[in-house]
Amino acid sequence: MSSSNPNSMISGGYNGLVPVAWAILVMGLSLTGVILIYLWIGRIGPTFSSDVMNLQQGRLRHMYGLPNQPIVTDKRILQIPPSLRNVPNSVYDSPK
C-alpha cells in the first residue's frame, strides 16, 4: 500500500543519501588538498634535482677539503648517472 501523504517522501525518503553526500564532500576536499599541495610543492622545476646535487657536492667537498669541480649544466650529461659518465660508449650507450 502506498501512502497518500505527500510529505512522506520529503521527511524520510532521502535519508539513505546522507552517507553519499558525505562521501562526495570528502572526495572533493581531498581533491582540493591534492591540487593545493601540487601547486605548492609540484612547481619546483625541472632543474631541482641537479641543483640539489650541485649544492650537496659543493658542501661535501668543502667539508672534506676536496678541490672544487666544474658544475655540469649539459642536459645530456645530467641524464647519465655520475658513476657511468666515464664508461666507454661500447659498454654504455649515452642518450642522444
Is pTM beyond 0.85? Reply is no
Q: How far apart are alpha carbons 94 and 85 in whole angstroms?
A: 9
Residue type, 27: M
Q: What is the secondary structure of the chain as a DSSP string?
A: -----TTHHHHHTTGGGHHHHHHHHHHHHHHHHHHHHHHHHTTS-TTHHHHHHHHHHHHHHHHTTPPP-PPP--HHHHTS-GGGTTS-TTTSPPP-
Per-residue pLDDT of the chain (96 residues; tens, 9 = 90+): 455 655 555 555 788 899 999 999 999 999 999 999 888 887 777 677 778 888 998 999 999 999 988 887 787 887 888 788 887 765 555 555
